[in-house]
């Protein structure tokens, strides 16, 4: 079985591409979703309170907006959160993969695959790339965020050209209708197991 990483900058369309792969029968592990679930664990909450104090809590839960405003304005804080959460997400993926041993391949969708070493747990990498303006518009609409905040988040990620250069496959997401042939070609190549 091949383990595939699906990555790309914020707003590139990773989740849309992942859903198409799921329609093709590919099991997909959504790293961001799993990371959000980890924020509900008491041990994770305690560690975040230790790092940031209880100012990040609201009604007994981690205030994700408050945490985001802290970490996307301070690289040291972002590193601390990543150092806490990402090993847990990696281990979760490794455990999850065991349930799919008979599949041709499985996929993990993760925004910062190379930046945080997730490339070490996959065999192949697919990058989803898109025009910067489209990425900003998608993210502002999806997250109900400001352009400035989206640009700050982008600054904490590698440029998509660098991600594409290190990837085995690149899907250019300029028009949703055009991604399907690209995805089908990659799916066929992965099922042939190189």
For the chain, give every domain's residue range: 1-27+105-193, 32-99
Q: CATH for 1-27+105-193?
A: 3.40.50.300
List 29's β-bridge partners, or say none.
Answer: 108
Q: Cα separation of 160 and 131, whole Å?
A: 10
- Phi and psi at residue 113, to the nearest 5°: -60, -55
| Domain 32-99 annotated CATH 3.40.50.300 | yes
pTM: 0.89
Segment among 4-8, 154-158, 160-164 with least mean pLDDT: 154-158
Q: Cα separation of 45 and 162, whole Å?
A: 34
Compute and round to an integer the Cα radius of gyration of the chain. 17
* Diameter over CA atoms, the chain: 51
Does the pLDDT at position 194 exceed 60?
no
Q: In 10 A of CB 162, how many CB atoms?
A: 14
Please tell me if the domain spanning 1-27+105-193 has the same topology as the one spanning 32-99. Answer: yes
- Phi and psi at residue 119, to the nearest 5°: -60, -20
Look at residue 116 in the predicted model and tell me its pLDDT.
87
């Amino acid at each position: 079985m091949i383990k595939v990483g699906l990555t790309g900058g914020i707003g590139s369309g990773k989740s849309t591409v992942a859903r198409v792969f799921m329609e093709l029968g590919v099991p997909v592990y959504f790293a961001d979703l799993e990371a959000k679930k980890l924020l509900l664990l008491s041990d994770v909450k305690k560690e975040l309170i230790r790092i940031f104090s209880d100012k990040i809590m609201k009604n007994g839960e981690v205030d994700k907006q408050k945490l985001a405003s802290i970490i996307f304005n301070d690289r040291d804080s972002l590193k601390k959160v990543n150092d806490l959460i990402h090993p847990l997400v990696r281990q979760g993926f490794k455990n999850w993969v065991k349930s799919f041993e008979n599949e041709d391949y499985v996929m993990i969708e993760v925004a910062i695959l190379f930046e945080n070493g997730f490339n070490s747990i996959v065999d192949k990498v697919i990058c989803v790339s898109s025009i910067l303006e489209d990425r900003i518009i998608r993210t502002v609409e999806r997250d109900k965020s400001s352009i400035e905040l989206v640009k700050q988040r982008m600054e904490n990620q590698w440029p998509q050209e660098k991600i594409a250069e290190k990837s085995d496959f690149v899907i250019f997401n300029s028009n949703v209708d055009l991604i399907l042939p690209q995805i089908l070609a990659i799916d066929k190549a992965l099922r042939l197991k190189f």
